[in-house]
Structure 1
């Protein structure tokens, strides 16, 4: 052909052909690295979930004892102040809000010491144990269900409430004697032995119909508000607890669905764990105390009538006053209180309850966060995450964009328990 005489066919015959990929070894290396990264990522996810389970399980087991300590130990000084405010029928300051109570407490502690806020603490614990013992004894003797978890019908629930009423009626005189040791002033009162509350309680229990001395009311009169308060508080606790648990479970499920961290086979009943139980107990206790506060005021005033108890004057914090009421019963106490002190007279010391609720809630959250930090630090130190992922990324010569390979997402794994109460 013309013009092709100088074309060398031999050179074209031995010219190497172009391939689709000029660096097949690099591609194989990237694929191998990606497979190793996928395996390490699955291992890292499993380790993260195991650590979360360990942290959540350990913290949840510690929350129940923490709530008991907050409710019965940390809250006790504020309970003492609340009861003294309820008994002060001639007070000028009602202490409906905490701000008026704080300066009075400072003067009270300055004049009598910190022990003034812990009066009768040992007696209260003994009385709680005695209440449980009486309830267990009556349950065995009369075959009444003691545990609420074993109730399966309305009849058994009625027997359970009857057991509560009987135990409250028997313990009422001891409640009255315990209240005296809780609110009496340290300035004018003598130190009492721990068995005095049982002695005074038995004496008053034996004199069921006749008052012991002076204006003291018979036991059968003060049993009515005691049993009414105890049963209403128990029923309120049941209703509020179930409602709070349901709301918290729905809140948790909503958060999990929103974050997309809920598994397909997830059971909503598994959310009803110790953490929700602890939060429910705190909220239930606060709500029942707020609802039954007026009835509690009437009950405590009837307890102390005729006992010639002298309490600290929480108008000033540096003086004392004696209890000299003359109520004939719960209805007369209610009418007299509203007439002479107004409707807010039934809520004297309500600021102490508000302060107690806020303090317990804050301390609970602080202690929960502290427990999580401690347990998580321990779990991290004993089970460190794998470093292979970082080493593989550092040893790669090409970036993911250069190699054309999409790397997996390494965003942090969210915990299943997102509730922050």
Structure 2
């Protein structure tokens, strides 16, 4: 069955609330609470917990005309409360795209662009005080929706899913797991998107049940009137003597009381919720080590193939295109015999610096609250990236057989290509993010244990590798044009990859990128844009092989 409001059949009691089914209708509890224009006009035992069927049907007809800003599907039942936004989205799409919902009247919702930024941010080494796992995921980016700070004992942080599970288990006893504060903690969590309920806990239900049994026993075995003769009771076993004042924590020290008390409330229905099934220390350490090993491969071990790829890429007059890696094998042997192993590590330092600065450019968030300083700092880093790109390219493709007289720096002739370089990097980053999202979705659809695979480190590394292969393949022609434009009219001398034993100068002059494109098509055909692609194939093949061997040996 599908929810009457958001038209989704997905069920997750922790994130979406209870899935209420009444006759032939169903709805998420949180959709009922948060859907704009829908009010509770009945008592709790009427229709959907007081939300009348007629009201729900009326809003469903209205939501049918509303499209979600995230998935472009109908039945968008939530609206951003920012008066300048008014974006519409599904309740589930909002959760997946880090929107925030407030579970206090008037039940506002905010899209991911208008979530209030907190004043405080956690350290990079901060951990969740409930699951004791690292607060940050692999992206190392702070998200105010999924990372919540305790309002009462300040320097403690939680994953939102951890505190949400804890809230559902605690019920009306929901309080801060660190300092036991109730009022301030509960109010803040409701404002920050953690919903709770007033249902009694298992211990309270058990206590009420036993109290009811005591009352029944007294009514059965104790006479109402002292003058009324007693009827001989049946011969039954004496009732069990239960000590209701038993302290469940007699065997524990006072320091362990809070932890054990909150660990006591545990619902069996949450046992299979995969998000909280953390791996053991051995598997976790293996995943972290494998991830770092992949980083070393990308930045160090694959550089020789980058040298071969770029040297073949910029050579306009070469006869061998080296689109497949087989033609590069004899060339590699000849280069090693004539120039030694250093021929494959040209420009390594510049390449490493460029990757480090690029990483800083993508993950810079120190000045988010000061836009002018933020944009200025980003601009400075972009200029540094371009300078490193130009000099790294000249150092990588230049031959070792002749002295290199290239001056480190960028002349005025390079700066018209600055914005082309930035546009290409931005396009690659955007395409990579989209391809990564699609690839992860395909991986999840192939598995029944969706959450385990989505969060697994090994699966993430496979997704990153596939995304990188797709992105590099799609943008390879654009990089060919850019590299040829950067090296035109520089008199750079490179190794001749047709023979592997001689050198040749690069004498090219293009009037612009359009002229470079036409010249390449006219002289080399469309295959000319993929010159040296065999080096890229070798790079990814070696990467995948080394990772497989490392996993097999471990």
Do these two structures clear the TM 0.5 threshold for a shared fold by scoring above it?
Answer: yes
Instruction: Judge conservation of contact 1:294–1:346 (CA < 8 Å) in 2.
Output: yes
TM-superposed CA distance for 1:184, in Å, is 0.2
Is 2:464 the counterpart of 1:237?
no
Query: Structure 2 vs 1, CA of residues 136 and 243 (structure 1 numbering), >3 Å: closer, same or farther?
Result: closer
Match of 1:188 among 402, 427, 430: 402
Instruction: Judge conservation of contact 2:361–2:378 (CA < 8 Å) in 1.
Output: no
Query: 1:223 maps to what in 2?
Result: 418
Q: Deviations over 1:150-172 (max 9, x none)?
A: xxxxxxxxx99x99788545532
Query: 2:495 maps to what in 1?
Result: 312
Is 2:323 the counterpart of 1:127?
no
TM-superposed CA distance for 1:64, in Å, is 1.4
TM-superposed CA distance for 1:234, in Å, is 0.1
Query: 2:290 maps to what in 1?
Result: 63
Q: Deviations over 1:57-94 (max 9, x none)?
A: 22211121111111111111001100000011100110
Query: 2:302 maps to what in 1?
Result: 75
Match of 1:268 among 446, 451, 458: 451
Distance, in Å, in 1 between the alignment partners of 2:300 and 2:377 is 27
Distance, in Å, in 2 between the alignment partners of 1:177 and 1:65 is 28
TM-superposed CA distance for 1:343, in Å, is 0.7
Query: 1:384 maps to what in 2?
Result: none
Structure 2 gaps, min length 5: 1-276
TM-superposed CA distance for 1:365, in Å, is 1.0
Distance, in Å, in 2 between the alignment partners of 1:226 and 1:122 is 20
3-state secondary structure, aligned to 1:315: coil
Is 2:483 the counterpart of 1:300?
yes
Query: Structure 2 vs 1, CA of residues 65 and 135 (structure 1 numbering), >3 Å: closer, same or farther?
Result: closer
3-state secondary structure, aligned to 2:508: coil
Match of 2:543 among 332, 357, 360: 360
TM-superposed CA distance for 1:114, in Å, is 1.1
3-state secondary structure, aligned to 1:311: strand
Is 2:432 the counterpart of 1:249?
no
TM-superposed CA distance for 1:279, in Å, is 1.4
Q: Deviations over 1:20-79 (max 9, x none)?
A: xxxxxxxxxxxxxxxxxxxxxxxxxxxxxx997344222211121111111111111001
Distance, in Å, in 1 between the alignment partners of 2:457 and 2:371 is 28
Match of 1:346 among 529, 536, 548: 529
Match of 1:171 among 377, 385, 390: 385
TM-superposed CA distance for 1:120, in Å, is 1.0
Instruction: Judge conservation of contact 1:131–1:171 (CA < 8 Å) in 2.
Output: yes
Query: Structure 2 vs 1, CA of residues 86 and 92 (structure 1 numbering), >3 Å: closer, same or farther?
Result: same
3-state secondary structure, aligned to 1:186: coil
TM-superposed CA distance for 1:352, in Å, is 1.0
Query: 2:472 maps to what in 1?
Result: 289
Match of 1:99 among 320, 326, 331: 326
Instruction: Judge conservation of contact 1:96–1:348 (CA < 8 Å) in 2.
Output: yes
Distance, in Å, in 2 between the alignment partners of 1:125 and 1:301 is 21
Q: Deviations over 1:367-414 (max 9, x none)?
A: 12222xxxxxxxxxxxxxxxxxxxxxxxxxxxxxxxxxxxxxxxxxxx
Q: Deviations over 1:141-189 (max 9, x none)?
A: 884599xxxxxxxxxxxx99x9978854553233111110111000012
Distance, in Å, in 2 between the alignment partners of 1:270 and 1:88 is 44
Distance, in Å, in 1 between the alignment partners of 2:541 and 2:309 is 15
3-state secondary structure, aligned to 1:292: helix
Distance, in Å, in 1 between the alignment partners of 2:285 and 2:343 is 37
Distance, in Å, in 2 between the alignment partners of 1:144 and 1:276 is 36
3-state secondary structure, aligned to 2:540: helix
TM-score, normalised via structure 2 length: 0.46
3-state secondary structure, aligned to 2:547: helix
- Name whichever structure is richer in helix by fraction: 1
TM-superposed CA distance for 1:246, in Å, is 2.0
- Which deviates more from structure 2 when the two are superposed, residues 295-304 or residues 360-369? 360-369
Instruction: Judge conservation of contact 1:173–1:219 (CA < 8 Å) in 2.
Output: no
Higher relative contact order (CA 8 A, sep 6+): 1
Distance, in Å, in 1 between the alignment partners of 2:446 and 2:307 is 36
Query: Structure 2 vs 1, CA of residues 97 and 133 (structure 1 numbering), >3 Å: closer, same or farther?
Result: closer
Instruction: Judge conservation of contact 1:111–1:318 (CA < 8 Å) in 2.
Output: yes
Distance, in Å, in 1 between the alignment partners of 2:489 and 2:293 is 39
Query: 1:85 maps to what in 2?
Result: 312
3-state secondary structure, aligned to 2:503: strand
CA RMSD of aligned residues (A): 3.1
Distance, in Å, in 1 between the alignment partners of 2:353 and 2:380 is 19
TM-score, normalised via structure 1 length: 0.60
Structure 1 gaps, min length 5: 1-49, 147-158, 212-217, 257-266, 372-421
TM-superposed CA distance for 1:236, in Å, is 1.5
Query: Structure 2 vs 1, CA of residues 90 and 319 (structure 1 numbering), >3 Å: closer, same or farther?
Result: same
Larger Rg: 1
Distance, in Å, in 2 between the alignment partners of 1:137 and 1:237 is 19
